[in-house]
Amino acid sequence: MATGQLFSRSTQSLFYNYKQLPIQRMLDFDFLCGRETPSIAGIINPGSEGFQKLFFGQEEIAIPVHSSIEAACSAHPTADVFINFASFRSAAASSMSALKQPTIRVVAIIAEGVPESDAKQLIAYARANNKVIIGPATVGGIQAGAFKIGDTAGTLDNIIHCKLYRPGSIGFVSKSGGMSNELYNTIARVTDGIYEGIAIGGDVFPGSTLSDHVLRFNNIPQVKMMVVLGELGGRDEYSLVEALKEGKVHKPVVAWVSGTCARLFKSEVQFGHAGAKSGGELESAQAKNQALREAGAVVPTSYEDLESAIKETFEKLIEEGKITPVSEVTPPQIPEDLNIAIKSGKVRAPTHIICTISDERGEEPSYAGVPMSTIVEEGYGVGDVLSLLWFKRSLPRYCTQFIEICIMLCADHGPCVSGAHNTIVTARAGKDLISSLVSGLLTIGPRFGGAIDDAARYFKDAYDRGLTPYEFVEGMKKKGIRVPGIGHRIKSRDNRDKRVQLLQKYAHTHFPSVKYMEYAVTVETYTLSKANNLVLNVDGAIGSLFLDLLAGSGMFSKQEIDEIVEIGYLNGLFVLARSIGLIGHTFDQKRLKQPLYRHPWEDVLYTK
């Protein structure tokens, strides 16, 4: 492996299996370091394509999302680092696929628990093809001031505290990602900081070894000394011992192998990593530390003395003129995410939507403050739910039952009315349910089903002003306005609409007052004197009776009643009800496998 530097300020990567937080941390690090371009060229999310919005400093950017590794490598040929956040189940396959791409040079495998046989195959392929694997079971790596992998070094505060936004003089390699963060902090306290840091991972078979990276650091001019943190278990550290003995390392190495406490236990102890288990005296922390010390590494007597050993070695290099400490720079301010700033009380921001009828937060959704469990356990009906969501209150049972009756009576009126006809034609054209439903709903208006609000509005105005039926009807005639809720193409004085009769019967039985309906009936009596088909239709019946419901329940103020009528609540009732029938007609046509509808010629008057 040897060679030299893995990363630079122009390094770009491909990120496999989208994870918002580590990606944003990488981009924030890029901005902190003063990079001109983001270090992530593309995201690979199997089965997805498009773009993902993220922040680069204060600027919002769109990073391409690709569905396959091959597509991403083809689209971004300069991206030579593959950061694999796949689970241990698929990490090996996706990593091997990335290694086989000619553009990929470094693969970082974050997942723990990759099968050892798979890890061995990856390692063999990488070595045979001169490629580098960091991991498995790694947090990644970082080149200070240039590039970092995923969550390496943790939060921005930690990165700034450890001076990782600019390069230092120390090359650091460790098995542990968590201990890497600790050592970055330690090194920053007593030296000018790290130049590059790598966590090779804690699995039994890491893709690259401690000695691989020490030998690589040895070839990087900017690295003046190395710090190595090993752990008990395995024999990786002995390859570093051999390199030191053979004179392959020409720079000071400060090393410590953790796990010396293992001897205090009577039986073998498995520490956090899969590889952190002593398989004999040679694999003990004490034996490794002694071997490293004898090979020429600076090895303290305990972990507590590691910081002093690093400091002394660094200061000695300064005295010898081998290190000129880097000048400190002030990193740019990273804009704080709005949600974090709001939680910390630093800013306040307006909301974009106001909702007063439902709330999905907490343990269960609620409608107008009534928990879903209550709605189900207490047997609420459709009318009850509608009263909560539309009127923001629980109406008396006779009111909600009236609402349900209206929905049932208005659900359908046969295939010949305009709404149903439109839906049938659309369904027979092979369109989907939503398209068929909407084509029918779009016919609802002043001439079809949409007169309930107008009927309520005009009947209420006339009654409240004390107009006689004559004054009301003739006044409307002078304005050129048909009386909403009066008139039917089929029904007449001798063929009354059964739906209207049922609604009137229910209201007489249950409503405390029916003054608006009675007024509508007196208007009907007058209009029938003019024409036999000017009967009170279902729109007029529902409109007038809903006024009685609102006024008679005692639960609405006059202003609320006026607002309900003005907004269009009552037409909403017809839309809700008729949607049931229109959906039924759609399913009916689909079930019957009806062909495309074509209107017959003989039913068209062709004229000049």
Eight-class DSSP state of 531: -
Are 416 and 313 contained in the same domain? no
Q: What is the pLDDT at residue 278? A: 55
Q: What is the pLDDT at residue 384? A: 97
Are 90 and 207 contained in the same domain? yes
Query: Is 260 within the bounds of a domain?
Result: yes
Residues 6+ apart with CB under 8 A from 27: 38, 39, 40, 54, 55, 56, 61
Eight-class DSSP state of 536: B
Tokens standing for residue 604: 């068209």
Query: Is 128 within the bounds of a domain?
Result: yes
Domain range holding 535?
A: 411-592
Are 427 and 303 contained in the same domain? no
Q: What is the pLDDT at residue 273? A: 47
Buried b (16+ CB within 10 A) or exposed e, 109-119: bbbbebeeebb
Query: Is 224 within the bounds of a domain?
Result: yes
Check which CATH number belongs to the domain holding 232 and give it.
Answer: 3.40.50.261
Q: Are 358 and 371 in contact (CB under 8 A)?
A: no
Query: Is 46 within the bounds of a domain?
Result: yes
Q: What is the pLDDT at residue 261? A: 67
Judged by phi (left if over 0) then psi (alpha if -120 to 50, else beta), residue 352 lies in alpha
Residue 287 identity: A
Q: Rounded to whole angstroms, how far apart are CA atoms 23 and 51?
A: 14
**Tokens 């009111």 found at:** 399
Q: Which of 260, 252, 262, 246 is nearest to 228 (CA)?
A: 252
Q: Where are the beta strands (DSSP E) in 175-261?
A: 194-199, 225-231, 253-258
| Residue numbers annotated as active site | 273
Query: Is 388 within the bounds of a domain?
Result: no
Q: What is the pLDDT at residue 276? A: 47
Please tell me the pTM assigned to this model. 0.71
Eight-class DSSP state of 282: G
Domain count along the chain: 2
Are 297 and 437 contained in the same domain? no
Query: Is 87 within the bounds of a domain?
Result: yes
Q: What average pLDDT values come out for the chain (608 residues) when binned by 10 residues?
A: 86 97 96 96 96 94 97 98 96 98 98 95 97 96 98 94 96 92 96 96 92 97 97 90 96 93 57 52 90 97 96 97 89 86 84 93 95 96 96 96 95 94 97 97 83 92 96 95 91 93 96 96 96 94 96 94 90 94 98 96 93
Buried b (16+ CB within 10 A) or exposed e, 140-157: bbbbbbbbbbbbbbbebe
Grouping H, G, I as helix, E, B as strand and the rest as coil, residue 209 is: coil
Tokens standing for residue 503: 């609604």
Q: Rounded to whole angstroms, how far apart are CA atoms 84 and 80?
A: 13
DSSP collapsed to 3 states, 321-332: CCCCCCCCCCCC
Grouping H, G, I as helix, E, B as strand and the rest as coil, residue 430 is: coil
From residue 222, alpha-carbon distances to 129, 214, 280, 418, 486 in Å are 27, 13, 38, 80, 91
Query: Is 383 within the bounds of a domain?
Result: no
- Could you say which of 289, 320, 351 is where a domain stops? 320
Query: Is 553 within the bounds of a domain?
Result: yes
Judged by phi (left if over 0) then psi (alpha if -120 to 50, else beta), residue 58 lies in alpha
Are 448 and 569 contained in the same domain? yes
Q: Rounded to whole angstroms, how far apart are CA atoms 154 and 108?
A: 17
